[in-house]
Structure 1
Amino acid sequence: MSIFKSAYQILQKHGIKELLSTSFKYYIIPLILLPMIMIKIRIMRRRSFNEIFAFTFKSYYTMLKPLQVKSEIRSLLYFLKKNPPKYILEIGTARGGTLLLFSKVAAKDARIISVDLPGGNFGAGYPLWMIPAFKSFAADQQKIILLRKDSHLPSTFKSIKKSLKKEKLDFLFIDG
């Protein structure tokens, strides 16, 4: 669904106030904040895990804030940190908060694949302009692969296998 169709549907169903509010929330504020977030992420790359964890949960306008329970995701991340995974698959990118956190506990040469279903408000689970921010999470020789596809489709499975280059997953996170 195109942005214009989504906008028209919101206007029809909820009125101009909701359309303006949604547009402001999903387009105007993020476009202003995106460069600041990318700069902050680059600065934070060499920071401690705890600093990055705090940054993610205090993220500007909740743009990167994980949707998980803070204590649960912290425990999972500490577990992963002990034996950093090299091949990660995340199903459900959403805001990208867990993607950022996984990149910080993954191996220095990790391949991190994140699959997200297009089709939410304004046409996708995350907007296209967030892709550069998500890709900037990669450190050292890490590679982040973003697949905007339905995780249930055989074609998505093929894309994941191709991205793994015959390697097996070390960690699978299903949140979608």
Structure 2
Amino acid sequence: MSQFTKTPLTRIRRIAENANYDRDTVHAILDTAWVCQISFSVDGQAHCIPTAHWRIGNTLYIHGSNGSRLLRALAEGASACVNVTHMDGLVLARSGFNHSMNYRSAMIYGQFRKVSSGTEKIAVLDAFMDKIDPSRREQVRVPDKNELAATTVLALTIEQAVAKQRSGPPVDDAADIGIDVWAGVWWRTHT
């Protein structure tokens, strides 16, 4: 199936025309990002933690220390919301109200499972190294048994997902077109 099914969690209500349920679109947003933000709740307290991620097929992976609150909660079955956002430019209009951003984002809902098999864990971590740099894995030392034992790897099958995107110039109100101020898409680079 090339489209994710729209669910109550993934239905976009605000500017619904920017929603996209295409699997390839969601996968591309995930694959071109290094960091995702994962929201979850522990004892009624909401948390949102950034972490590295990677994808194999229709499964999203994360990893970290066995002592991580995030990984412990997710391994125990906490529901999660995963977000990845690429900011592609500030959209500056002639009215402050009509300013926006060009962006690509993906939102995934579900529950992670712990990768328990040693063989699967090593293969998944190899895939992470390949995302970083396909030749890097051949150049570095492989994790030893203590490092593998200290690392938790979690997997989330992507079943409930949606992308939301905006691109293009500002949409100025007709009455604002004559205002003498620059309008367009701007991107500031960090120095």
With normalisation by structure 2, the TM-score equals 0.22
- Counting strand residues as a fraction of each chain, which structure ranks higher? 2
RCO higher in 1 or 2 (8 Å CA, sep ≥ 6)? 2
With normalisation by structure 1, the TM-score equals 0.23
- Counting helix residues as a fraction of each chain, which structure ranks higher? 1
Over alpha carbons, which structure has the higher Rg? 2
